[in-house]
Chains A and B, each alone.
Chain A
Amino acid sequence: KQEVTQIPAALSVPEGENLVLNCSFTDSAIYNLQWFRQDPGKGLTSLLLIQSSQREQTSGRLNASLDKSSGRSTLYIAASQPGDSATYLCAGEGGSNYKLTFGKGTLLTVNP
């Protein structure tokens, strides 16, 4: 059974800092890895999707990497802004079972 862990559970940084959020998974047969953002009281918004054949994806100030051999993914946020404050979740899809497994998320606070 796939298990996804996110560390740290919460992170507080000053504005302008570069930061890394971590996601680890137990089954290296993962097919893809997605990163989501969730604002309080809202649904999830997809940020980046990394297919198993890819090593990383970039969107603006966000860069996500995937290392299947080590069971890890990272989300790098450059030059953080207060508007980046949210909960960030990662989720892995196992390929043949059509099921996404989510981590519990990292609550990010960027202080002005």
Chain B
Amino acid sequence: NAGVTQTPKFQVLKTGQSMTLQCAQDMNHEYMSWYRQDPGMGLRLIHYSVGAGITDQGEVPNGYNVSRSTTEDFPLRLLSAAPSQTSVYFCASSYHPADTQYFGPGTRLTVL
């Protein structure tokens, strides 16, 4: 199993550009989530999904969109990048939110 994979590993954007962070898992997990990690702020939940076709907002959803068309994939879209979205983004998955969470290696995003 590859586990949870994220692409790209690094990305630099200019303000106003859009992009999609990819997340995929091969463990047939129903629950997937996106976090951002900022110094002094810890990990904060952006969006999550309890299964294909079902998504919901987390703590800091503004400026981000998600969709879940398959069990395996959970992409995160930045609609119009802002410097405040400079962060490290982590995707995680599990069978259920109460189960052990498996994290991807992260995407380091810089918005200029």
Residues of chain A touching chain B, judged by Cβ–Cβ distance below 8 Å, are 31-32, 34, 36, 42-46, 49, 51, 89, 91, 93, 95, 98-105
Whether A43 pairs with B99 at a CB distance below 8 angstroms is no
**Least Cβ distance of B41 to chain A in Å?**
7
Q: Is the CB of A44 within 8 A of B90?
A: yes
Would you call A31 and B106 a contact (CB within 8 A)? no
Extra pairs beyond A43-B90, A100-B45 (5, CB < 8 Å): A44-B43, A46-B101, A89-B42, A91-B43, A100-B101
Q: Is B75 an interface residue (CB 8 A)?
A: no
Name the distance in Å between B84's Cβ and chain A's nearest Cβ: 19
Please report the C-alpha to C-alpha distance between residue A44 and residue B41 in the assembled complex, in whole angstroms. 16
Q: Are B97 and A42 in contact (CB under 8 A)?
A: no
Using a Cβ cutoff of 8 Å, how many contacts connect chains A and B? 58
How far does the alpha carbon of A61 sit from the alpha carbon of B2 in the complex, in Å? 27
Contact present for A99 and B48 (CB under 8 Å): yes
Distance A34 CA – B20 CA, assembled complex (angstroms): 29
- Chain B neighbourhood of A101, CB < 8 A: 45
Quick one: which of B58-100 are within 8 Å of A by CB? 58-59, 90, 92, 97-100
For residue A95, which residues in chain B have a CB less than 8 angstroms away from its CB? 98
Question: Which positions in B face A, CB cutoff 8 Å?
Answer: 4, 31, 33, 35, 40-45, 48, 50, 56, 58-59, 90, 92, 97-106
Q: Is the CB of B101 within 8 A of A102?
A: no
Inside 8 A of B45's CB, which chain A residues have their CB? 99-101
Contact A43 B50 (CB under 8 A): no
Q: Which of chain A's residues has its CB closest to B4's CB?
A: A43
Decide if A49 touches B99 in the complex (CB within 8 Å). yes
Interchain nearest-CB distance for B46 vs A (Å): 11
